[in-house]
Structure 1
Amino acid sequence: MPDRPHTAGAPTREQRVSRTFVALADSLVADFDIAEFLDLLTTGAVDLLSVAAAGVILRGPDGHLEVLSSTSRQADLLEQFAVQADNGPCIDCVRTGMPVTCADLEVQGKRWPRYTAGAQACGFRCAHAVPMRLRGQTIGVLSLLGTEPGALDEERLGLGQALADVATIAILQHRAVEHGDRLSTQLQTALDSRIVIEQAKGILAQRGTLTMDESFTALRGYARAHGQRLAVVASSVVAGSADLDAILIPGPRGSDRA
């Protein structure tokens, strides 16, 4: 896979490498758009590694593989087929966490008969897969496809791995932030609910001349008896829309004996 010739005024390969990594880094600074980021990754891989097409397959939270980005319709069809058939260099790469290369599918593709047939139907003659992994965790694969037989030399394989590594770090960071945001939201919701419940306990304690513990028992018993969330009943008490007398009724309907 020879590098494209350099013409006067055209950026050198080193400049293109630098610009690709800068573009990937810049996409992380603003609001992170994973679709845009993966598009930059795959188009950059095609440009820098002199392949015909590239794609990204990621492992979702449920463990299933999904095709998230492809530089051409034919590449997308092949990647989707690989996932459905559970066959191909990309699938082996995800399983092992190691690069998988096939310079000539017609000669070396017998280990992936279904994938090889699909690749040839889509016009691809070679396929290479670079793992997207970090500290033993493989989250996906960067697939590199060629329309002519050809190997990836050590330099291009290393550059492909560097692109995949940058993408892996970015995606895991994004997932960590999202997870952190969910935890923060859950914590804030829990804190807000606690405040509302304390306010409702105070209102019930005053209305029924009860201790705070007794008012909480009444509040909780009513919520359980009526199949409602405690925070929802407490909110209705604070908002003034609840039937306080019904909540304060002792016995099966208004206490923990419900």
Structure 2
Amino acid sequence: MSNARDQRLASTFVTLADTLVADFDVLDFLGVLTERTVELLEVDAAGVILSDQRGGWRPAAGSSEDAELVEVFAAQTQQGPCVDCVHTGEVVASADLVADTGRWPQFAPAAAQAGFRAACAVPMRLRDDVIGALTLLNTQATAIDDDSIALGQALADVATIGILQQRAVQHEQIVSEQLQATLHHRTVIEQAKGVLAESGGMDMHLAYLTLRAYARAHHRRLSDVARDVATTTLDAGELLGDPASTPRS
């Protein structure tokens, strides 16, 4: 492992552990988790599915639009590695989703159509408390290697501890309401991405990066900026014309 990658990995663990801040934004946090997962594990994409605290599971973040779509397929069909992972609390993998159509008859063809042939889901779990799953995706029918799975699990563990640590300072009822609000904000962000994509002639993932860049540059919550764009309180043209909205690596 190179020195630069070591430093990036250390920085990622610090970022995922640092959640006890007043303006903690779960969606931005999960976005960072998926992006750093792709960067550090050298997989093609990553996605997160979260508990909605009512017995269901909902897509919460993805490193790309296709990765998010795979999590939507899983939630809709109640099939796939991530769904099995959250139910068992164990790693669930497929080296070839096409070959696993019998295992997941609805999910596997949909994931393959989205461009992914291999998947591995690791639980976001602290002891017996499973709050979601991090899914690693490859476009080729090649198994995710053991080292990548181990590192993916470590990232998921730190992220889970960070989320639960942040929630622990609040009352249990507020924690549940926060999860519901997170999923609601996710819907608003999707609406705002659509507005920006249409206005700026860009794809949905670039629209998300633009939205996030603007929010960070102006020290605002991602969900608040998305709400303003979706309700036209913030004009899409004004946001797109702001130099601060240019995504940075």
Please confirm whether the aligned pair reaches a TM-score higher than 0.5, indicating the same fold.
yes
Counterpart residue number, 2:70 = 78
> Within the alignment, does 1:127 sit opposite 2:119 as a pair?
yes
Cα distance change of structure 1 residues 124 and 180 upon mapping to structure 2, 3 Å threshold: closer
Q: What is the identity, as a one-letter code, of the residue corresponding to 1:46?
A: V
Q: Residues 137-156 of structure 1: CA distance to partner in whole angstroms, max 9, x if unpaired?
A: 21110011111122222221
**Contact 2:19/2:163 (8 A) holds in 1:** no
> Within the alignment, does 1:13 sit opposite 2:20 as a pair?
no
Q: Following superposition of structure 1 onto structure 2, how do residues 37-116 of structure 1 map, counting pairs within 5 Å? A: 37-116=29-108
| TM-score between the two structures when normalised by the length of structure 2 | 0.65
Give the percent of matched residue pairs that are identical in Structure 1 and Structure 2.
51
Distance 1:22 1:168 in 2: 13
> Within the alignment, does 1:178 sit opposite 2:155 as a pair?
no
Q: Secondary structure at the match of 2:49?
A: strand
Counterpart residue number, 2:153 = 161
Q: Secondary structure at the match of 1:104?
A: coil
Deviation at 1:15, TM superposition (A): 2.1
Distance 1:82 1:19 in 2: 31
Q: Residues 160-182 of structure 1: CA distance to partner in whole angstroms, max 9, x if unpaired?
A: 11111011111212222232695
Q: Secondary structure at the match of 1:113?
A: coil
Q: Residues 86-105 of structure 1: CA distance to partner in whole angstroms, max 9, x if unpaired?
A: 01111000110000011111
What runs of 5+ residues in structure 2 fail to find an aligned partner?
Answer: 176-249
**Contact 1:102/1:109 (8 A) holds in 2:** no
Distance 1:37 1:168 in 2: 11
Deviation at 1:84, TM superposition (A): 0.9
Distance 2:40 2:143 in 1: 15
Cα distance change of structure 1 residues 154 and 179 upon mapping to structure 2, 3 Å threshold: same
| TM-score between the two structures when normalised by the length of structure 1 | 0.63
Larger Rg: 1
Q: What is the identity, as a one-letter code, of the residue corresponding to 1:117?
A: P
The match for 1:152 among 121, 124, 144 is 144
Counterpart residue number, 1:222 = none
Deviation at 1:157, TM superposition (A): 1.0
Distance 2:113 2:173 in 1: 44
Q: Secondary structure at the match of 1:128?
A: strand
Q: Residues 10-60 of structure 1: CA distance to partner in whole angstroms, max 9, x if unpaired?
A: x63222211211222345445311111111111011111111111111112
Distance 2:107 2:18 in 1: 36
Q: Secondary structure at the match of 1:132?
A: strand
- The one of the two structures with greater contact order (alpha-carbon pairs below 8 A, sep at least 6) is 2
Counterpart residue number, 1:242 = none
**Contact 2:34/2:62 (8 A) holds in 1:** yes
Q: What is the identity, as a one-letter code, of the residue corresponding to 2:35?
A: T
Distance 1:182 1:66 in 2: 19
Deviation at 1:78, TM superposition (A): 1.5
Cα distance change of structure 1 residues 127 and 182 upon mapping to structure 2, 3 Å threshold: closer
Distance 1:175 1:28 in 2: 9
Distance 2:132 2:174 in 1: 23
Distance 1:139 1:117 in 2: 26
> Within the alignment, does 1:136 sit opposite 2:128 as a pair?
yes
